[in-house]
């Protein structure tokens, strides 16, 4: 199947984000001596987010690159599965540019929270914060449009809890990404609801 088929199936922005994550993982594996199963700590400290380096060496770009970096093959497999599943749903609702914006903003918020709430020697990596933003936006849009925000918030934070209690999981990145996604989803949910109300009241002739 052609690349265009996957762009159509998953959404152009979602599949592009997928390709970037996979490409970065290939680079990580090469730098780890060709090991595609697990990435060296030194590579994660360089391409991921090493809090000490960000604060003391000015490696602020790591707040961005870390959201495309993964620690092993299982990590990227599950994250990319959820990206393709949830990203394409949000892309159908908000369009490609807003999916990329949600991914990046949520990932950055999660990484900034990690920077100031985790110990300086912490090294973190992964798209989880960005993905929590995508899921948070989806849930919140549904809650706003459907008029049931209480249930939407309960679903969002239940999702956070069950995915953030395992050892080694960066709960701060999850929480930051989720809160960013909720804010984005609330804004666009209101926009969509106003548009639907207008169309219901006046039809499409406006």
Candidate list 70, 75, 106, 128, residue with the active-site label = 128
Asked about 106 being catalytic, the answer comes back as no
User: Where is 123: in which H helix or E strand?
Assistant: strand 123-124
Contact 31, 40 (CB under 8 A): yes
∠ at Cα 50 (58, 134), nearest 5°?
Answer: 100
Q: Determine the Cα–Cα distance for residues 186 and 189; give it in Å rounded to an integer.
A: 5
Residues in Cβ contact with 23 at an 8 Å cutoff, skipping those fewer than 6 apart: none
Asked about 164 being catalytic, the answer comes back as no
Catalytic residues: 128, 174
């Amino acid at each position: 199947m052609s690349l265009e088929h996957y762009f159509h199936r998953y959404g152009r922005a979602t599949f592009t984000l997928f390709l970037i994550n996979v490409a970065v993982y290939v680079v990580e594996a090469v730098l780890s001596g060709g090991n595609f199963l697990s990435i060296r700590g030194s590579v994660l400290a360089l391409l991921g987010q090493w809090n000490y380096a960000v604060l003391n060496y000015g490696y602020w770009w790591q707040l961005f690159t870390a959201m495309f970096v993964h620690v092993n093959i299982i990590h990227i497999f599950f994250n990319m599965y959820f990206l393709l599943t949830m990203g394409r749903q949000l892309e159908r609702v908000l369009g490609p540019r807003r999916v990329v914006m949600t991914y990046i903003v949520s990932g950055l918020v999660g990484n900034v929270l990690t920077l100031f709430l985790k110990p300086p020697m912490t090294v973190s990596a992964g798209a989880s914060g960005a993905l929590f933003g995508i899921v948070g936006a989806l849930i919140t849009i549904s809650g706003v449009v459907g008029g049931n925000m209480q249930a939407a918030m309960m679903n969002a934070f239940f999702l956070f809890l069950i995915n953030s209690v395992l050892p080694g999981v960066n709960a701060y990145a999850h929480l930051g990404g989720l809160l960013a996604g909720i804010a984005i989803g609330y804004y666009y949910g209101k926009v969509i609801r106003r548009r639907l109300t207008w169309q219901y009241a006046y039809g499409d002739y406006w």
